[in-house]
């Protein structure tokens, strides 16, 4: 498979299409991003690395960081984590309160805002210096010491995060979180503000295509079983109430963020990251979704 030629062809085709999406203007800082940005980068098990467009530009990865937080919490508490968050698709928006009422404060999965808030609570209870320890963990597994939070984006989210305040307090009312909501939310906003490029994302997430092993030093980041479970959650829950559509059209485990980024994994093959800031009505990158559908259709490489 000539990934370079294929990615270039698909990129130019999608780039020429009208972008009907909208930036995530409800987070003021994200509305300042150039809507024409469009980047793609692939990292493969066979050490092919190729990028095109704005693949080296950093952006706020937003909910993609929920995968990283889940991985760290999973490493710390093991299968006990599934007593706190479920593993089922929600069928509701990422910030919905409806399901929490029915399930007595236990989020349906860890990629909903409520689920990520519970994962943040777990990390707060188990790390001595949560903000520093989390960024050190991500830097360590990516072998990239330059990764940073964005204080301006974290503050921008905090300034308008009324829905998350409601979610956190609602979960707390059921006794499903241990720490104070204000502390949890501050940490949660920091997680979501993490900035990375498509190149950095695809290199970081490649271990999920390699049974949980880092390629550079063969370090076990997750066990093979844990890696399988993270990929399964990304497949079924990674795109909120568009997860079924992504599985149907793209056929890969993946995770999106309202910063316009998407990471997708083909086990035993590659990790590919796409960034285009304008989102569809479900909150996923409009051109990113189109690119990945075209890419897996033409490559004939997906799980199905």
Domain boundaries, the chain: 3-59+197-299, 63-192
pLDDT digits (tens, 9 = 90+) for 88-131: 998 777 767 888 988 999 999 999 999 999 999 999 999 999 99
Is it true that 3-59+197-299 and 63-192 share their CATH fold? Answer: yes
Q: How does 266-298 read in b/e, with b if 16+ C-beta sit within 10 Å?
A: bbebbbbbbbbbbbbebbbbbbbbbbbbbbbee
- The rounded distance, in Å, linking the Cα atoms of 265 and 57 is 21
Give the pLDDT confidence score for residue 182 in this predicted structure: 97
Q: Quick one: 3-59+197-299 is in which CATH superfamily?
A: DD-peptidase/beta-lactamase superfamily (3.40.710.10)
- The rounded distance, in Å, linking the Cα atoms of 24 and 33 is 10
Give the pLDDT confidence score for residue 102 in this predicted structure: 85
Give the pLDDT confidence score for residue 147 in this predicted structure: 97
Give the pLDDT confidence score for residue 272 in this predicted structure: 98
**What fold does the segment set 63-192 form as a domain?**
Beta-lactamase (3.40.710)
Spatial neighbors of 63 by CB under 8 A, at least 6 apart, are: 94, 111, 116, 192, 255, 256, 257, 258
Tokens 């990251």 locate to: 273
E-strand ranges in 200-280 read 254-256, 261-266, 270-275
Query: DSSP secondary-structure letter at 116?
Result: H
Name the phi and psi angles at 268, rounded to 5. 70, 5
Tokens of 248: 């149907």
Give the pLDDT confidence score for residue 113 in this predicted structure: 94
pLDDT digits (tens, 9 = 90+) for 250-293: 999 999 999 999 999 999 999 999 999 999 999 999 999 999 99
Identify whether the C-beta of residue 105 lies closer than 8 Å to the C-beta of residue 253. Answer: no
- The segments of the chain whose pLDDT lies below 50 read none
3-state secondary structure of 146: coil
Give the pLDDT confidence score for residue 304 in this predicted structure: 79
The CA distances from residue 255 to 159, 172, 178, in Å, are 25, 26, 27
Name the phi and psi angles at 254, rounded to 5. -165, 175
């Amino acid at each position: 498979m000539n990934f370079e030629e294929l990615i270039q062809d698909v990129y130019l085709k999608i780039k020429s299409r009208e972008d009907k999406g909208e930036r995530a203007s409800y987070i003021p800082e994200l509305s300042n991003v150039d809507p024409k940005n469009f980047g793609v980068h692939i990292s493969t098990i066979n050490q092919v690395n190729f990028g095109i467009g704005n693949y080296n530009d950093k952006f706020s990865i937003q909910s993609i960081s929920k995968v990283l937080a889940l991985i760290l919490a999973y490493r710390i508490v093991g299968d006990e984590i599934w007593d706190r968050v479920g593993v089922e698709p929600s069928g509701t928006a990422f910030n919905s309160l409806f399901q929490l009422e029915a399930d007595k404060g236990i989020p349906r999965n860890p990629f909903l805002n409520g689920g990520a808030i519970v994962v943040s609570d777990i990390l707060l209870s188990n790390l001595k210096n949560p903000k520093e320890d989390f960024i050190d963990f991500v830097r360590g597994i990516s072998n990239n010491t330059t990764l940073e939070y964005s204080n301006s984006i974290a503050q921008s989210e905090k300034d308008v995060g009324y829905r998350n305040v409601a979610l956190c307090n609602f979960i707390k009312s059921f006794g499903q979180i241990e720490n104070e909501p204000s502390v949890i939310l501050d940490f949660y906003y920091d997680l979501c503000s993490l900035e990375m490029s498509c190149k950095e994302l695809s290199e970081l997430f490649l271990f999920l295509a390699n049974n949980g092993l880092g390629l550079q030093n063969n370090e076990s980041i997750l066990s093979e079983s844990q890696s399988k479970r993270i990929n399964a959650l990304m497949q079924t829950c990674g795109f909120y109430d568009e997860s079924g559509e992504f599985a149907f059209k793209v056929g890969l485990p993946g995770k999106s963020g309202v910063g316009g980024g998407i990471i997708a994994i083909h086990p035993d093959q590659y990790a590919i990251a796409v960034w285009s800031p304008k989102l569809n009505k479900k909150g996923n990158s409009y051109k990113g979704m189109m690119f990945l559908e075209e890419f897996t259709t033409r490559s004939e490489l997906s799980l199905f």
